[in-house]
Amino acid sequence: MNYLNNLCSLQDLKKLAVEQLPELALEIRQALIHKISATGGHLGSNLGMVEATIALHYVFDSPKDKFVFDVSHQCYTHKILTGRKEGFTDPDHFGDYSGYTNPEESEHDMFMVGHTATSVSLATGLAKARDLKGGKENIIAIIGDGSMSGGEAFEGLNNAAALNSNIIILFNDNEMSIADNSGGMYKNFELLRKTKGTAECNFFKSFGFDYFYVEGGNDISQLVRVFERVKDTSHPTVIHMHTLKGKGVEWAEKDKENGHFVFPASFDMSAYAKAESYDSITSEFLLKKMEKDPTVIAISPATPLQTGLLPEFRKKAGSQYVDVGIAEEHAVAFASGLAKNGAKPVLLAVSSFLQRTYDQLMQDLALNASPATILVFLGNLSPGDATHCGIFDISMMSNIPGLVCLAPAAKEEYLAMLDWSLEQTSVPVVIRVPSTVVSIGSTECLTETDFYQYRIIEKGSQVAFLGLGNFFWLAKQAKDLLKKKTGIDATVINPRIYSALDQETLVKLKADHGIVVTLEDGSVSGGFGEKIARFYGNSNMRVLNLGGEKIFTDRMPMEEQYTRFHLTPELIVEDIKKCMEV
């Protein structure tokens, strides 16, 4: 670790000879493998980018020259080189830095990024501002082939190409998205790789970019040469480099999908694998359906692993599974088209990424009443990064006319909703997949499919809890504690639907209840509870809306969130007592 140990600044890097850089790359790669093994993280993408990142910082002058990393899940080497080395070499500091670029950490990070396909657009803005100010710096966007499938990347390319000034797009082609790439464009990338960039039919040249191909995307000397050549260019330029995802870890080079992100070594995968999860419940259900019905089709916007669609599922599903790339807009419109022509599409997607398709949910899907099913995974408060908060989908989707949004509290209910959604032909249905499997041990709900009605689970008086989805169980706990502390025997309701009000049930509550408490595993702003507050606005009913705050939580521990947002039985009971005293 000779080079890495002595490296304290970008100036130190620039003092090295090009010939010394491969040794530094080796040391960084070893550090990354060690660190990621210990803490988990994006393995494959970071290992593939070690050489290119060193070469970028060797040739360009950050922060004057500006780098924008797409998704920024490949920025570890960049962090090491820009003053954050100890976060990757010293176990005591492994938790100091996020896994994404973050301007609060360093002036070398331009944006906080975690979603796909944004880098070229952001960089185009930086470049245009430079031009307006009369500046001269280089603007470099670093984007992988997987990210290229997102529409925002395309919109960015189209406009970057029209800039008439310096912008450099480093296209990192490792022949992989998170899972395998799909889509016609990838045939062109393959052709370009095969012809070492000489093929006339060239996706990038069709936009008018200057184009350079680098076969040795993990060869620092090749990279330094081409970067020096394009530095201070006056034209929009694409450098297409071919890298090896997972380079340096044999299994990750071979199994690129599982090598994309790894769990910490200490993580007990066997326990994880054994526990029943909505991942396996969903894929098992879908496979059974598919066997009986060739029109059932599962769609993934390039995140099959995150939604339980393991390679074995995909193999069995065959043409009844489609990965559309990181293209959520297309995914929703595609689902609408499928439903309109008589198929039964199920889109499985992550809450935070569904944000990329708000308009398609409204126009392509809801306005057309296309009976597609959307399963929302990871829609909950979480201790993760600010870029991946799963608390906004309730307000995003429940305020769109025509979407039927359901939140099951238990496994049996989930399966009943899923089955109902697939078999009905009149409305698009969103189902918020709960985070932990709870079985109610009852199949009563399997025959009860009027999900527009709330279910009164425990009938009491004075106080009524409306516990949505995951938080139904919190409502139950709060009810028990309230009984214990005050003697009040509260009503507990599983509302199940969060896009519409069951007015009949709500009106009935007025007779013998004075307080309604809503609980939702998402931001209260614009969410389910506020609709209840509006409904009771002209009455004597008091309403307490509990859920997440309208903030980006950045790796905030769950305990802190539960306390801050009053989401423990104790704090809920306190709030109720205060409300009774007013």
Binding to its own copies (CB under 8 A) within 377-396 occurs at 386-387, 392, 395-396
452-491 residues in contact with its own copies (CB under 8 A) are: none
User: 345, 408, 428, 469: which one contacts its own copies (CB under 8 A)?
Assistant: 345
User: 34, 63, 93, 131: which one contacts its own copies (CB under 8 A)?
Assistant: 131
How far apart are CB 514 and its own copies at their closest, in Å?
Answer: 11
Given strand 210-214, what is the order of strands in its sheet? 66-69, 139-144, 167-173, 236-242, 210-214
How far apart are CB 405 and its own copies at their closest, in Å?
Answer: 12
Q: How buried is residue 171: exposed, middle or buried, by Cβ count under 10 Å (0-12/13-18/19+)?
A: buried
- Give me the half-sphere count of Cα atoms (radius 13 Å) on the Cβ side of residue 402: 16
How far apart are CB 178 and its own copies at their closest, in Å?
Answer: 16
Q: Are strands 167-173 and 236-242 parallel, antiparallel or unpaired?
A: parallel
Regarding 550 and contact with its own copies (CB under 8 A), the answer is yes
Q: Which is nearer to its own copies, 447 or 538 (CB)?
A: 538
Segment interacting with its own copies (CB under 8 A) among 3-11, 19-27, 354-362, 456-464 = 354-362
How far apart, in whole angstroms, are the C-alpha atoms of residue 513 and residue 515? 6
How far apart are CB 523 and its own copies at their closest, in Å?
Answer: 7
User: 36, 333, 418, 431: which one contacts its own copies (CB under 8 A)?
Assistant: 333
Given strand 296-300, what is the order of strands in its sheet? 321-323, 296-300, 344-350, 373-377, 429-432, 404-406
- 63 preceded by cis ω (within 30°)? yes
DSSP class per residue in 128-153: HHHHHHT----EEEEEETTGGGSHHH
- Spell out the residues 6+ positions from residue 548 whose beta carbon is closer than 8 angstroms to its own: 381, 391, 521, 522, 523, 524, 561, 565
How far apart are CB 294 and its own copies at their closest, in Å?
Answer: 6
85-114 residues in contact with its own copies (CB under 8 A) are: 103, 110-114
414-453 residues in contact with its own copies (CB under 8 A) are: none
54-83 residues in contact with its own copies (CB under 8 A) are: 66, 68
Q: Which is nearer to its own copies, 134 or 441 (CB)?
A: 134
Q: Which is nearer to its own copies, 359 or 444 (CB)?
A: 359
Using DSSP, state whether 56 is helix, strand or coil. helix
Regarding 362 and contact with its own copies (CB under 8 A), the answer is yes
Helix or strand run (H / E) with residue 561: helix 558-564
User: 44, 325, 408, 569: which one contacts its own copies (CB under 8 A)?
Assistant: 325
Regarding 216 and contact with its own copies (CB under 8 A), the answer is no
User: 54, 327, 407, 433: which one contacts its own copies (CB under 8 A)?
Assistant: 327
Tell me, by CB under 8 A, how many residues bind its own copies.
Answer: 123
How far apart are CB 142 and its own copies at their closest, in Å?
Answer: 14
User: 7, 47, 50, 126: which one contacts its own copies (CB under 8 A)?
Assistant: 126
How far apart, in whole angstroms, are the C-alpha atoms of residue 40 and residue 263? 4
User: 128, 193, 231, 235: which one contacts its own copies (CB under 8 A)?
Assistant: 128
Regarding 182 and contact with its own copies (CB under 8 A), the answer is yes
Q: Which is nearer to its own copies, 172 or 499 (CB)?
A: 499
Regarding 130 and contact with its own copies (CB under 8 A), the answer is yes
- Other C-beta atoms closer than 10 Å to the C-beta of 358 total 15
User: 1, 18, 162, 446: which one contacts its own copies (CB under 8 A)?
Assistant: 162
Q: Contacts by 102-109 with C-beta closer than 8 Å and gap 24+?
A: 105/79, 106/79, 106/82, 107/63, 108/62, 108/63, 108/67, 108/78, 108/82, 108/83, 109/72, 109/75, 109/82
Strand partners, 432: 376
How far apart, in whole angstroms, are the C-alpha atoms of residue 301 and residue 435? 20
C-alpha angle 43-47-51 in degrees, rounded to nearest 5: 160
User: 48, 99, 146, 156: which one contacts its own copies (CB under 8 A)?
Assistant: 156
How far apart are CB 17 and its own copies at their closest, in Å?
Answer: 33
Q: Which is nearer to its own copies, 188 or 306 (CB)?
A: 188
Regarding 169 and contact with its own copies (CB under 8 A), the answer is no
Using DSSP, state whether 497 is helix, strand or coil. strand
Regarding 176 and contact with its own copies (CB under 8 A), the answer is no
How far apart, in whole angstroms, are the C-alpha atoms of residue 179 and residue 21? 31
Chain-centroid distance, C-alpha 53: 24
Regarding 237 and contact with its own copies (CB under 8 A), the answer is no
Instruction: Find out whether 569 and 478 touch, Cβ atoms under 8 Å.
Output: yes
Regarding 402 and contact with its own copies (CB under 8 A), the answer is yes
Q: Which is nearer to its own copies, 459 or 577 (CB)?
A: 577
User: 122, 140, 378, 404: which one contacts its own copies (CB under 8 A)?
Assistant: 122
Q: Which is nearer to its own copies, 279 or 329 (CB)?
A: 329
Would you give the binding string for its own copies spanning residues 305-324, x where CB under 8 A is met? --------------xx-x-x
Q: Which is nearer to its own copies, 39 or 360 (CB)?
A: 360
Q: Which is nearer to its own copies, 309 or 366 (CB)?
A: 366
Strand partners, 3: none
Helix or strand run (H / E) with residue 394: helix 393-398
In sign, the C-alpha dihedral spanning 156, 162, 168, 171 is positive
Q: Which is nearer to its own copies, 20 or 188 (CB)?
A: 188
User: 363, 424, 449, 486: which one contacts its own copies (CB under 8 A)?
Assistant: 363
Regarding 374 and contact with its own copies (CB under 8 A), the answer is no
How far apart, in whole angstroms, are the C-alpha atoms of residue 478 and residue 494? 14
489-528 residues in contact with its own copies (CB under 8 A) are: 523-527
The closest of 512, 441, 438 to 469, measured between CA atoms, is 438
261-300 residues in contact with its own copies (CB under 8 A) are: 294-295, 297
How far apart are CB 226 and its own copies at their closest, in Å?
Answer: 21
What crossing angle do the helices spanning 21-39 and 220-230 adopt, rounded to 10°? 110
